[in-house]
Amino acid sequence: MKVLILSSDYFEDAELLVPYYRLKEEGIPVEIASDKTGTIIGKHGYEVAVDKKLSEIVPQDYDVLLLPGGKAPAALREEPSALAIAKVFMQNDRPVAAVCHGPQILISAGVLKNRHATCYRAVADEMRQAGAHYEDREVVVDGNLVTSRQPADLPAFMREFMKLLKNRASR
């Protein structure tokens, strides 16, 4: 199993780092792809090394997609390659986890219609307009999709995300 994280500058530090290190703790390989090379810097100053540019990503090389929030998704949703990656994962029923503003990438990719999901409250109307069934809960699981609202929801998000990964690995 291999996880792909899509992010950029001004990511929400906890929403990227908590899943990143939890996955590493389990021995799961994780790569970070961005619209830039080198490092990306979080809202609170943490720096994270970028493994690949978005244009270098072959979605079939990964099993899971993770979309942390913060301001990074607003930039990534403008990148056609980020949207194409999200579409491949969603259309092929591969695990996708998105927290806070992360679902903005899925909204722009047009893959949330008739899906149950949650997000940061400022994105909720946009999510509804995209045809999703918005639920104001700490975590929502809909098949291959796990979503959460904010950093405070990370314990519930990670519990359900890890459960999804373990269930997929046992197939």
Which of 18, 108, 26, 113 lies closest to 66 in space, CA to CA?
A: 18
Contact 114, 127 (CB under 8 A): no
Alpha-carbon span 88 to 158, nearest angstrom? 23
Q: For residue 101, indicate whether it is catalytic.
A: yes
Which of 3, 13, 1 lies closest to 41 in space, CA to CA?
A: 13
In the set 44, 101, 116, 133, the catalytic residue is 101
Beta strands in the chain (DSSP E): 3-6, 30-34, 39-41, 47-49, 52-53, 64-67, 96-99, 116-117, 133-134, 139-142, 145-148
Alpha-carbon span 121 to 8, nearest angstrom? 21
Which residues, in sequence order, are bridge partners of residue 148? 99, 139
Which residues, in sequence order, are bridge partners of residue 67? 98
Contact 79, 46 (CB under 8 A): no
The set of catalytic residues is 101
